[in-house]
Amino acid sequence: MASITRRDFFVKMGAAPAALYGTGRAELGFSAPWKGGEVRNKTFQLFLSPKKGLRNTRLVHASSGLRLADGDYRYSFGRPDFRESSVTRGADGSIRVSLQGSALGGWVEARHEFHLPAQNPWIEEQITVANHGSYPLDLSRSRCGFVLPLRISDGLTTGKWAKFKVIAIPYRREPNGYQKQYADFPLSQLLTEPYSSELWTQETTVTPAYASEGWAWTDSKQGFLLTKYSQEGMEWSLLDRIPGPSNETSLRWGGYGIYRGNPEHGAWLLPGESHRFGITRLTAYEGGMLEGFYAFRQEMTARGHGCPENYNPPVHWNELYDNKLWWLPDDEQDNPTMRKKYYTLADMKEEAAKAKAIGCEALYMDPGWDTSFGSKIWDTARLGPYPFFTRMLREEYGLKSALHTPLSGWCDPTSYPQEMYRMNRFGQRLKWNREMGFLSSPLCGASTQYLEETARRLKVLAEGGAAFFMFDGTMYHAECWDPNHGHIVPARRAEHVRGMCRLARMVHAEYPNVLIEMHDPMVGGSTLRYAPTYYGHGKAPADEQYVHPLGFDSIWGFELMWSPMENLLSGKSIALYYYNLAYGLPIYLHIDLRTDNRNALSFWWYASTCRHLGIGGTPKDPAINKAHFEAVATYRRLEPFFKRGIFYGIDERTHVHIHPSEPAAVVNAFNLEEHPTQKEIRFVPQEYGLGNGSSWQVSGVSSRRTDGAYLLTFNIPALGHRIAEIYPA
């Protein structure tokens, strides 16, 4: 983007006054009935006709004249008769339009709201639907949205939209993807083809609607960011099509839609029930794909889903990779005899010594430390009292204690009372067949009793000195019909996911400084991402019991822990690059160093893309081991850049990290090819907020100054890495 620096871009997007991105109302000026017409801010002009049920709706981008909507707003439950319509003009110049009406002969009550802030380049809408009838309202195929007519000729979109495409954010590259898989779609594809993705399931599934947390809709010069946001139900920003006459087909966007049955509470409304769907936001920006990702990141950060200013997670040493217990066949890691043999206090001291020697800050203990797999009860008989253990780690090794704490979906459930097991729709309590394994756990993750007991066990560990919990085992298995569990009957996906997220807040209510990592709360540890990334993070919805404590601190790195080098070279781990363009919300991942090479390529890739880093495993090659000792020392020296710095992308293999509080940067350059390469990067300090007119010193690579820029030359070995450090001269 030549016409605007990255720093100016964020200022223009409203990065500084984060409160402006909230959903709360601005200070109100006056409200009055409104018959319809035009409302506008500096960026958009919106034309609405409430008396006609929003027929002939138009949305125009003021500076370009592009019409982003031009036709009847589509309501799948019938066109509402808006008997009430008002406009509120805030003292700050913001505008809110509120429409209230009914459809289907009064069976459906709809509230449609639009918000145009005065100073920010976006427009929002939100829809609430209520069932005023006497029978349940099935909205499982419901879809509403703006309509943009488009023409296709010879398979391509014509006119002003011909060069535009949409790009999925944050998973342009899905963690299941490969080197050539990108979620980039020309508008003609949206209008003519179904959507296929492996993001939600283990196989490619096809849906009529294209779904993502956000979309960059851009021609590389200007763009529009489309997002959907809700903490009250799992929702996505949907794009689909409406047939039109002749060669004309309309793109439908915004509004709301039920996707893969979600949000569950919006898909089926009993008489008297209502559901407020999430906020759709359309943001205009200058630039292309990268700027779209950065705009998304600013929005998520302002909503509370960024990297905390004081974020300083300890680098973990994971004992699992060198521990023979985990690598035993079947479920032998839960065998008490094997635990006594391979998971002793002496074993953990040996691993703590490795952690201290290489420069880690915490010993992370994977399966084996508790009385049974997933009990979350410290095995005192085998390892001694936990407070003594954490004090020993701190005093003898300078380490914190971090624990693997799998939840209801993957555990040995026998440490919990059977009353916490799920009940089927016939009132029968499920039983656990040990031969079916830990993934067949019948525990109900939405049960109040299960959550309270699990929180109690975790708080005992936190009191004893635990600094980190990994919420693995978050998988949803099946519904629960137990009326005594304190959840909606039946409890399905929505209640389970909320339960997993609630548990983090229950712990944080008393121990806010314990870091909690959350696997996907629907599918657990995998390369899938079922729930929206932000869902359950930050502040809870108003109807939650634990409103004030914040949720989890980091998400899981898509199970890229087992074969990190293979995942990188195959392209799967490129998903981490795009994630960092879109989110400051930290990722936690530990990796097996035994799969790395003498250039520490894996170490540096995951250090560059995972704000909370864990390592483990001792390579047999002394040269690789030496490379890791040197890499960790360099990482620890530069860790503020990686743990809480601002991430920018020059390209997939070149990452920029800006220091969180000082004028400094590091540039990571990677070579994923089997031959050495030379790479020249043009680095303009002021584009990254490093100031104008200053002189900079570059170390680690050769450089020369030209026209306000620095040309950095990286000579990178095959399957290697180089890092440049940039400080004021």
Angle formed at CA 335 by CA 329 and CA 338, multiple of 5 degrees: 80
Residues 656-693 pLDDT 10s: 999 999 999 999 999 999 999 999 999 999 999 997 76
**Mean pLDDT score of the chain:** 94
Q: Report if residue 666 sits inside a domain.
A: yes
Q: Report if residue 585 sits inside a domain.
A: no
Q: Considering the chain, what percentage of its residues have pLDDT values greater than 70?
A: 95
Residue that terminates a domain, selected from 302, 326, 359? 302
- Residue 666 sits in a domain whose CATH number is 2.60.40.1180
Same domain membership, residue 174 and residue 80: yes
Distance (Å, rounded) from C-alpha 26 to C-alpha 91? 8
Same domain membership, residue 248 and residue 338: no
The residue range of the domain holding 690 is 644-728
Q: Report if residue 608 sits inside a domain.
A: no
* Domain total in the chain: 3
Residue that terminates a domain, selected from 556, 578, 604? 556
Residue range 294-311: average pLDDT? 97
Same domain membership, residue 427 and residue 294: no
Q: Residues with Cβ < 8 Å from 163, sequence gap 6 or more?
A: 219, 220
Q: What is the pLDDT of residue 438?
A: 95
Count of beta carbons in the 10 Å neighbourhood of residue 533: 19
Taking alpha carbons only, the member of 438, 337, 351 closest to residue 392 is 351
Same domain membership, residue 189 and residue 139: yes
Same domain membership, residue 446 and residue 373: yes
- Residue 133 sits in a domain whose CATH number is 2.70.98
Q: What is the pLDDT of residue 542?
A: 86
Q: What is the pLDDT of residue 14?
A: 53
Same domain membership, residue 504 and residue 363: yes
Same domain membership, residue 207 and residue 344: no
Distance (Å, rounded) from C-alpha 455 to C-alpha 390? 20
Same domain membership, residue 379 and residue 268: no
Q: Report if residue 574 sits inside a domain.
A: no
Q: Report if residue 580 sits inside a domain.
A: no
Say which DSSP state 4 is in.
S
Residues 512-565 pLDDT 10s: 999 999 999 999 999 999 999 999 999 998 888 888 999 999 999 999 999 999
Q: What is the pLDDT of residue 165?
A: 98
Q: Report if residue 537 sits inside a domain.
A: yes
- Residue 390 sits in a domain whose CATH number is 3.20.20.80
**In whole angstroms, how far apart are CA 279 and each of 44, 167, 514?**
17, 20, 31
Angle formed at CA 522 by CA 519 and CA 524, multiple of 5 degrees: 35
Q: Report if residue 325 sits inside a domain.
A: yes
Least confident of 112-126, 196-210, 594-608: 196-210
Same domain membership, residue 270 and residue 142: yes
Same domain membership, residue 222 and residue 106: yes
Residues 378-428 pLDDT 10s: 999 999 999 999 999 999 999 999 999 999 999 999 999 999 999 999 999
Q: How confident is the model at residue 248 (pLDDT cuts 50, 70, 90)?
A: confident
More confident residue, 97 or 13: 97
Q: How confident is the model at residue 336 (pLDDT cuts 50, 70, 90)?
A: very high
Residues 27-80 pLDDT 10s: 456 889 999 999 999 999 999 999 999 999 999 999 999 999 999 999 999 999
Q: Report if residue 635 sits inside a domain.
A: no
**Does 20 score more than 80 pLDDT?**
no
Q: How confident is the model at residue 178 (pLDDT cuts 50, 70, 90)?
A: confident
Same domain membership, residue 418 and residue 357: yes
Instruction: Name the token pair of 500.
Output: 């997993």
DSSP letters for 264-275 = HHHHEE-TT-EE
Same domain membership, residue 321 and residue 298: no
Beta bridge pairs of residue 720? 671
Residue that terminates a domain, selected from 502, 537, 556? 556
